[in-house]
Structure 1
Amino acid sequence: MKRWRRVLAAVLLFVAAASFVPGVLAARDQPWALAALAVQGVTAVAAVLLLRVPELRSDGWWLVGGTIVFGAFFFQFPTFGAGYWNQVGWSLQYASAPVLVVPVLRLPDQPAAPRTVRRLAVGLLIVLVGLRAGSGLFWDPVTMAAYSGPGRWVTLFPWEPMVTGVQKAMPVALAPVAAGFTVVQVRRYRRAAGPNRRAVRLLVWLSVPMLWGMVALLTMDAFGAPGMLGDVIGPVYNASGAAALLAVLLVAIAANLRRAGFLDALLAAGGDAPAIETVLARYVADPTLRLRFRTEAGWTDAAGTLVAEASPAAGRVFRPIVVEPDGPAVVADLDAAVEVESRLVGPLLDAAGVVLARARLSVQQAAQAVELRASRARIVQAGVQQRRQLERDLHDGAQQHLLAAQAALARAGLGGEPQAVSEAIAFAQSRLTTTMAELRGLARGQHPALLSQAGLASALGSLVQLSDRVQVHVAPELVGRRFVPVVEATAWFVASEGVVNALKHTDASVTVTADLADGLRVRIIDAGDGGADFTPGGGLAGLRDRVGGAGGTLTLDSHAGDGTTLTMTLPARPAEEET
């Protein structure tokens, strides 16, 4: 299919180039034909320029057809003698109008509905080509001696009333088509917006008088009119038609320059997402345009800062630019007044998709850098809070027990009844025992001795002492295996905190599993009510920061009524790397 399209395109372009030959030959004998030849040249140049812009290529092919029709118009000149050539040129005298009306209704943006364009084009073809060519089949050769000369037209039989009737019917039939065309163009005029608003309105101002001028000319040919009126309407029709073609040419030039400038600006922006955002905002003519990127941490802006979920606010619209199998990866946040799927805005966003797909990597890195700075700040804050909590625990617990033991020993040192001294010493011993237990508990929460002495597998196994609802399953390959201290300490702290949180919020069983799968993987699973999440500033968010600081990831799977699974993955770096 593509091959046949290429062959057809090559044939049309060759015919369009050859269509200039009749005009050049006619201009040698009739100098005023140079004006029509110039109009044909403008049409051809506009066609070539529009063919270079993919989104406007269909309009370019219509102008190629207009170029060919202009060439056929010259066959009615005396240069080509008389007879059949004259009949072809005479029949196609007004054929350029239905061909050119299609791009006029579609350029440069906010095109009319395709169905409306087809109806208007077909109506013009029937009136200006079908009726005119059909009436030529009934002309009297004697009456047409000036056209037929030594040759003859293709005629069925002479029927002058038919010819006269068709000539009078043409302006009557063309009037409602021109009225419909006017209504469509007025609607486009009112709806015009964006960077092409002026171009749309200019084409409307020029094309409407052109078509009504044709109605007036056909009316004068059919019914007759004062010479002065013809002297006014003819130049107005010719001037408006030529100006409309020049406007189409300017639109084609502007589209090429705009596309070239846009591509150059994209290349200059490289992979810089904020620079690409600026380029799109300028060429889409929406200063409020913002880009949204989906990263591992969530949706971010072009600078990598986390933003709200990708859902448009009031008066805004989202247009996906880069789409991956799992959904949109890059979206443009635009003003709702922008027609995001228009022929000029939509292709610009699509063209930027290739560059944005690469820029997304830099945004991901920027987001990671932003998150790293934020997590470091949260880790420092969490460390400060933990130290304060430790101070409070020591002050309210161990310190009070030590003070009580000190006071009891002081009373025993004063002497007195042996029984009173024994009771004071026993009280001091009990306080010291309680203090030792509390200190061990505090040490266990920070860094238990078992972790340093026996490793992570043994330390995780000791979690069963917290409650009879806790079960621990450690894979055999972890037994006796040591990791770098930061990995072991992080794994222990997160596991113990996860178990304590689960015991605090549910009465169900808690299971801890540890194995090697894409690194060191530890899971804390409870059969509770679920519904947990990474609330900013909450305990789980702090655990995620701590795991991220150690180069790992922490994920949460917690659905209401279906329990909670906290999965931690850390680099399985052996202890030998520490040295």
Structure 2
Amino acid sequence: MVTRPVAAGRTIRPAADPWRPRRRWWIGPATAVVAGCLLAVAAQWPVAPARPALAVVDGLVGVLLLLTGALLGVEDDQRGNGRLFVLAGVAWAGVGLENWGSPSLKLAGWLSSGLFAFVALTVLLRYPEQRLRHRYERLFVIAAFVWVEAAALAIAATKGIPIRGSAPTLLFGGLASRRTGSLIETAGWAGLVVISLIFVGMLGVRLVRAKGLQRRTLTPVLIAAIAAGVAMGVRRAAIVLTDAHVLGTLLQLIEPLALIAVPGGFLVAALQRRLARAAVADMVLTLTRPGGGGDVLLALRTALHDPSLRILYWVDDEAGYLRADGTPDDAGSTADDRLSIPIAASSGDRLALVRMDATLTRHASIVEAALSAAVLALENARLQAGIRAQLAEVRASRSRIVEAGLAERRRLEQNLHDGAQQRLLALSMQLAGLRSAVADAEAGRLIDDASATLRDATRELRELAHGLHPAILTQMGLGAALESVAGRFPLPVLLAVPASRWPEAAELTAYFVACEAITNAVKHAEATHVSVTVTDENGDLLVRVSDDGVGGAHRPGHGLTGIRDRVAAAGGTWSLVSPPGEGTTVTVALPMAGFPSRDGGPAPRRGIGPANETDFRTDTSWEDR
């Protein structure tokens, strides 16, 4: 399906095939081309015997301009510029009428120079548009036309129209004033030098500002036009500064030789447009090749030479446009002047919104072909964007569940600490008082047994509350919490933990991961010591637990399932390195961007402070704790 880019807010609909130009000739342009060619030959006829090189080059310029206009005329969006090029070719051929001996034909040749300047400046300044974009461009073209025509008429009225073998003919009769005419002629040439400089400057600005596909197609045209403008200025400046008769034919050849480059520039631009269409064809092959249609965004950026091109996908469940990663985007923003093109799926429903550089409106056929070829890939990409949005929602939901579980842990730990533990402590104090008041040995033994049982129950309750949510983790941080638990294991634990603080949920996940990994080393690895290293790398909290045990651990056994599930619930990643006989290393990376900070906002980046390295050796009283 071929799509047509339109203004934002309107859906692209199928259009006629832009690949095949309409080869329809109009009687007007065809007649003008033929008449222009005949005029070019006739105008240079008197010059051919004496200066054949000049006659050939001047005639060739007119013919090439006419052919360029004919070629542009077959392109739907360049017909206006094609007509102007045909008119420029006719005007250039008309300039050659000054070679004839008739005063009226010579004056017609002079006046044709103004017409040629008007048409040539217009088409070169506005291409590939159909009109001049700025008011100052229109004023410049009109001023150049008026200057050339007025200078020609003023010279004809004062200095006269020179005719070989006879006196100059004044336009309005009277006596010729060679001094006044020469001054007017010099002023006319000087004005043309200024016009050439302004023209070259305007083209240079356009060349610098052009970008993307527009720059590729404009560069050869603008460079050729700049060369022609420079040649025109050089020739006029040479006439003002020196005697034109000294330079002779060489001086007269400068301008037409440079003008030949202009049709050549348009030929190169046409080839560039062909190559751009070939790039679209390559994109089609890439997107339709099995396994090769992965990145439709990259394919469109490459084909349209717009690295800033963006694609937003319509997702019904979200009732809006989403980026490729599933995150929402304000598709209605008009903060910039980019072109927004809605695209309809084959079913007619909204599919995507492509935002691209506004200059691509001048290459509508290429954009149509590219977007048409990308429709199927865009439909697949939209499905992927929807899946990513659902995945993002699942992750957000999982994060909310983790936060809710964390809050519930805190509540239970607080309730146990403030409720049951305090009551057991009060009961222990009551039994101590009762023991001191009872003298009977048997009763005292029973009270002592009850006190021991109560201490065991209190310790177990404390361990249970600590397992739900260690209060020291909230109060003093991850380092202090790991220090408090490291001494409870029956093997040395070396800690390297910075004094920084991280989001509470991240610290709790890192704490339980470290505890579970150390427990696995105690139960399964036959290790003699364990090291725990905590670092902050590129916004991720990294926890690395290593032991010197027998190794050979594998997923998901050896108690690693709990670590995997806990890390996945936090949106992190983990890795396991456990070669047989070389120990085991568990590495966990928790992205801070996935956790809310302690004040409820996004987690900030934490700088690493100096690590506190503590070596907890085996404590013989571990079993009594």
TM-score normalised by structure 2 residue count: 0.46
Question: Which of structures 1 and 2 has the larger relative contact order (alpha carbons within 8 angstroms, sep 6+)?
Answer: 2
Of Structure 1 and Structure 2, which has the larger fraction of its residues in helix?
A: 1
TM-score normalised by structure 1 residue count: 0.49
